[in-house]
């Protein structure tokens, strides 16, 4: 018998992303699913159908959880289909990122209403029945941003921080009644970013200085600079980097593959979340004369397992061509969209050993 067989789970924002993954995982453990979503009918239907193929019951309930009347109407609809809700996962959330002084009251209220008021309303609606049945599970999806804050996300941080506090308080109230209330704070909130790098050859190309600027949604303007080169004594590439994302100075060594296409770095930096020194691995893969893929890998302090933090595809503007929109003057390097988890170090090192206007083995550079 599966752990959740005979149980009913309600997941908000289950049409895609984390909510979708949670709904599918609960179904795999035997639960029947009430799938809440706000907009995308097709995506929600796909989740429902996939769960049904597992042999589990799954029904859709479209509702904006920020609307109190709509939440109560959804509750009535769910009770007509399922005998109860045993597991409530408050996952739905939105962002309206902007620096606080530019943020409007509407943008503040939208995020607080969905990310904090919504879970509060959902919990208030379904918790009494859990207590009556002496069994229930409430899981609130918060964020590391609620613990550490983030540029341009004062509304989001306030909502997630408030949800953390709400979770702890309600957990104390119902702990003796067979109901647990917990939160999960994912550290990965993928963002798209574009960065532009200017590289300058020094000392006959043996060393490279680089400076990078770009916009990180939710984090504002990213700026950084570094110096990289080949050390004849250690026969390895050496690099330093510093940016405005709170990691301080980063120091690393790199080794070039025999075919000259892959440059693998190991960097040490001060993790702004744990306040401890951490290690990050970076792999720069040259995919063409004017293209490079950069991948960054971190280590989960809890499990010790490596995970990918970020990936960027770079292309070099044609020499002498007019700079592309947003490209560095003189047509150096244009970074394509990158994904970056909240709290992870921003894109940094340029490849070592690169003369100013050539694509060296091991990549281009930020």
Residue 346 is predicted with a pLDDT of 36
Residue 315 is predicted with a pLDDT of 58
**Which pTM value belongs to this model?**
0.57
Find the range with the poorest average confidence among 80-89, 287-296, 320-329.
Answer: 320-329
Torsion of CA 323, 324, 329, 335, to 10 degrees: -130
Q: Within its chain, how far is the Cα of 296 from the centroid? A: 14
Angle at the Cα of 293 (from 290 to 295), degrees rounded to 5? 155
Half-sphere exposure for 44 (CA within 13 Å, toward CB): 19
Confidence of residue 199 (pLDDT cuts 50, 70, 90): low
Of 37, 156, 269, 314, which is the active-site residue? Answer: 156
Q: Looking at residue 269, what DSSP letter applies?
A: E
Residue 298 is predicted with a pLDDT of 79
Does 334 have pLDDT greater than 60?
no
Q: Kindly state the tokens that stand for 68.
A: 């109190």
156 has catalytic annotation = yes
Instruction: Give per-residue burial for 107-143: e unless 16+ CB within 10 Å, then b.
Output: ebebbbbbbbbbbbbbbebbbeebeeeeebbbbbbbb
Looking only at Cα atoms, what is the longest distance across the chain?
Answer: 77
What are the pLDDT digits (tens) for 95-145? 998 899 999 999 999 999 999 999 999 999 999 999 999 999 999 999 888
Residue 245 is predicted with a pLDDT of 66
Separation of first and last alpha carbons in the chain: 53
Please say whether the beta carbons of 107 and 95 come within 8 A. Answer: no
Fold annotation for 8-184 = Rossmann fold (3.40.50)
**Phi (first) and psi of residue 85, to 5 degrees:** -120, 115
d(CA 44, CA 46): 5
What are the pLDDT digits (tens) for 260-319? 888 898 988 877 666 778 888 888 888 776 677 778 887 776 667 787 776 666 555 444
Residue 241 is predicted with a pLDDT of 82
Residue 179 pairs with which residues in a beta bridge?
Answer: 136
Q: Kindly state the tokens that stand for 361.
A: 């083995």
Contacts (Cβ under 8 Å, ≥6 apart) of 136? 86, 87, 88, 126, 127, 129, 130, 174, 178, 179, 180
Residue 193 pairs with which residues in a beta bridge?
Answer: 338
**Phi (first) and psi of residue 162, to 5 degrees:** -65, -35
| Average pLDDT of the segment spanning 12-32 | 95
Domain boundaries, given as residue ranges, for the chain: 8-184, 192-339
d(CA 334, CA 325): 9
CB atoms within 10 A of CB 307: 14
Does 219 have pLDDT greater than 60?
no
Find the range with the poorest average confidence among 114-118, 179-183, 208-212, 283-287.
Answer: 208-212
What are the pLDDT digits (tens) for 159-178? 999 999 999 999 999 999 99
Contacts (Cβ under 8 Å, ≥6 apart) of 104? none
d(CA 211, CA 221): 13
Residue count (the chain): 366
d(CA 198, CA 167): 47
What are the pLDDT digits (tens) for 27-83? 999 999 999 999 999 999 999 999 999 999 999 999 999 999 999 999 999 999 999
Place of tokens 């179904």: 27
Give alpha helix (H) positions in the chain. Answer: 17-28, 41-53, 68-81, 105-112, 118-133, 145-148, 154-174
d(CA 249, CA 166): 37
């Amino acid at each position: 018998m599966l752990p959740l067989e005979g149980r009913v789970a309600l997941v908000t924002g289950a049409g895609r992303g984390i909510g979708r993954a949670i709904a599918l995982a609960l179904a795999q453990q035997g639960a029947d699913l009430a799938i809440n979503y706000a907009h995308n009918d097709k995506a929600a239907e796909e989740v429902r159908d996939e769960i049904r193929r597992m042999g589990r019951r799954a029904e859709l309930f479209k509702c904006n959880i920020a609307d109190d009347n709509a939440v109560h109407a959804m509750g009535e609809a769910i009770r007509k289909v399922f005998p109860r809700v045993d597991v409530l996962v408050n996952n739905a959330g939105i962002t309206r990122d902007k620096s606080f002084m530019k943020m409007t009251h509407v943008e503040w209220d939208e995020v607080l209403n969905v990310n904090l008021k919504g879970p509060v309303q959902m919990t208030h609606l379904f918790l009494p029945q859990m207590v009556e049945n002496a069994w229930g599970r409430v899981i609130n999806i918060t964020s590391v941003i609620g613990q550490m804050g983030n540029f341009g996300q004062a509304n989001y941080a306030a909502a997630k921080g408030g949800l953390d506090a709400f979770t702890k308080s309600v957990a104390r109230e119902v702990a003796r009644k067979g109901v647990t209330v917990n939160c999960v704070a994912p550290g990965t909130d993928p963002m798209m970013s574009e960065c532009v790098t200017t590289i300058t050859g020094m000392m006959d190309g043996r060393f490279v200085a680089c400076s990078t600027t770009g916009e990180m949604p939710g984090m504002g303007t990213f700026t950084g600079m570094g110096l990289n080169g080949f050390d004849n004594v250690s026969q390895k590439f050496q690099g330093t980097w510093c940016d405005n994302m709170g990691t301080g100075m980063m120091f690393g060594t790199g080794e070039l593959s025999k075919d000259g296409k892959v440059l693998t770095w190991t960097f040490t930096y001060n993790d702004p979340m744990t306040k401890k020194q951490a290690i990050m691995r970076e792999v720069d893969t040259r995919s063409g004369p004017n293209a490079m893929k950069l991948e960054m890998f971190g280590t989960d302090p809890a499990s010790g397992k490596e995970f990918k933090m970020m990936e960027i595809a770079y292309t070099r503007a044609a020499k002498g061509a007019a700079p592309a929109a947003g490209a560095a003057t003189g047509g150096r390097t244009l970074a394509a969209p990158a994904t970056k988890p909240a709290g992870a170090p921003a894109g940094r090192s340029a490849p070592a050993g690169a003369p100013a206007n050539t694509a060296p083995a091991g990549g281009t550079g930020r």
